[in-house]
């Protein structure tokens, strides 16, 4: 089974802060990826704090379930084909595999509907204390900028994250995860 625990800190950015960080870390390699989000009609995954997406990146498709863990998020990944992706969107059913099994373990047996897509232009660099990720996301005629900081250990990562913001004169701003920002936009909020 392909699983990992993701510990990350997030902060929303202004376009100017985003551009300044790209310059400060000399980031020019920006990769584009698209996330397609799914949930049941009554949002049972969201109710459990979970999220389901298919990420398209470098002509590969990965189905990922994110669910709360004691620290961070437990991610279950499963490579899928274009035909499987099309089938999920048309039949509202997942293919057999690790993600399907995890969703059953959450007690969710409802059909899963395609909510829509979010495209992210991502730049990343490994620094001493973790992985710095800068995202420019576009969805539903909106765009936003976000800093994600992925770490191995929560407390040390939290200190490094706050230091990073302080060193670049960026105020701390809450950042909902992408699927929740997408969901709020579908509801005309956020």
- What confidence tens digit (pLDDT) does each residue in 26-66 have? 999 999 999 999 999 999 999 999 999 999 988 899 999 99
Q: How far apart are CA 138 and CA 153, in angstroms?
A: 30
Spell out the domains of the chain, with CATH numbers in brackets. 2-186 (2.40.320.10)
Select the more confidently predicted residue: 184 or 158: 158
Q: How far apart are CA 153 and CA 157, in angstroms?
A: 6
Q: How far apart are CA 20 and CA 17, in angstroms?
A: 5
| Burial class of residue 15 in the structure, from the number of CB atoms within 10 Å of its CB (0-12 exposed, 13-18 middle, 19+ buried) | exposed
Mean pLDDT of 160-186: 92
Instruction: Report pLDDT for 175.
Output: 93
First to last CA, the chain: 36
Whole-prediction pTM = 0.85
Instruction: Report pLDDT for 104.
Output: 94
Helix/strand/coil percentages in the chain, nearest 5: 30, 40, 30
Q: How far apart are CA 79 and CA 60, in angstroms?
A: 8
Instruction: Report pLDDT for 190.
Output: 59
Tell me the DSSP string of 19-34.
HHHHHHTT----EEEE
3-state DSSP assignment of residue 120: strand
Instruction: Report pLDDT for 118.
Output: 95
Instruction: Report pLDDT for 188.
Output: 73
- Residues 103-154 have pLDDT tens digits of 999 999 999 999 999 999 999 999 989 999 999 999 999 999 999 999 999 9
């Amino acid at each position: 089974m392909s699983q990992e625990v993701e510990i990350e800190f997030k902060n929303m950015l202004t376009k100017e802060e985003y551009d300044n960080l790209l310059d400060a870390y000399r980031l020019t390699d920006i990769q584009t990826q698209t996330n397609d989000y799914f949930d049941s009609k009554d949002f049972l995954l969201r109710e459990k704090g979970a999220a389901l997406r298919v990420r398209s990146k470098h002509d590969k498709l990965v189905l990922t379930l994110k669910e709360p863990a004691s620290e961070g998020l437990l991610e279950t990944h499963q490579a899928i084909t274009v035909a499987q992706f099309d089938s999920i969107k048309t039949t509202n059913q997942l293919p057999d595999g690790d993600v399907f099994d995890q969703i059953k373990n959450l007690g969710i047996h409802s059909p899963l509907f395609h909510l829509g897509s979010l495209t992210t232009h991502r730049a990343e660099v490994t620094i001493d204390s973790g992985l710095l990720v800068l995202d420019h996301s576009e969805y539903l005629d909106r765009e936003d900028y976000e800093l994600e900081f992925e770490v191995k250990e929560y407390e040390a990562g939290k200190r490094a994250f706050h230091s990073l913001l302080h060193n670049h004169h960026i105020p701390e701003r809450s950042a909902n995860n992408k699927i929740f920002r997408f969901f709020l936009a579908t509801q005309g909020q956020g």
